[in-house]
Amino acid sequence: MASQQSEFYIGAVAEMTGVKIETIRYYEKAGVIRPPARGQNGYRLYSMEHVERLEFVKRCRELGFSLDHTSSLLSLADSKERTCKQVSGIAEERLNEVRAKIADLRRMEAVLKNFVKVCPRNLNPECPIISALSKAT
């Protein structure tokens, strides 16, 4: 609350956020997070604000948002002119992607499940899986 100017080296930030050192530097180069101050030795000096931003990015990434979308969400979080609609637009887009991917994977799962079911799993060379992969349905 007061003027506690706590600053952290990259290693401490990595430990606090669970984002790897290399990834933090990568985010900086990719323009996702702003470059922090530097000490006399050239070391990056992060403030608590940086740590919070990195946590924001981490949560976005855990939801599968691209770095582009993550950057957009981050600037919306900063902007005073943002509208709730803009934010939910990005979220909806991601939700649709996720649902499409689930549908894809469920199709794959069905086929693979059947493969495993019909396969005798023995030591003979005859295999229904190979047959299925070898000719069109």
Partner DNA sequence: TATAAAGCCTGTAGTGACTATAGACTCAAG
Partner DNA sequence: CTTGAGTCTATAGTCACTACAGGCTTTATA
Question: Cβ closer to DNA: 64 or 89?
Answer: 64
What would the DSSP string read from start to end of the chain? --S----B-HHHHHHHH---HHHHHHHHHTTSSPPPEE-TTS-EEB-HHHHHHHHHHHHHHHTT--HHHHHHHHHHHH-SS--HHHHHHHHHHHHHHHHHHHHHHHHHHHHHHHHHHH---SSSS--HHHHHHHS--
Site residues, its own copies (CB under 8 A): 52, 55-56, 59-60, 62-64, 73, 76-77, 79-85, 87-88, 91-92, 94-95, 98-99, 101-102, 105-106, 108-109, 111-113, 115-116, 119-127, 129-130, 132-134, 136
Q: Which does 76 bind (CB under 5 to 8 A by kind): its own copies, DNA, none?
A: its own copies
Minimal distance, residue 35 CB to DNA, in Å = 9
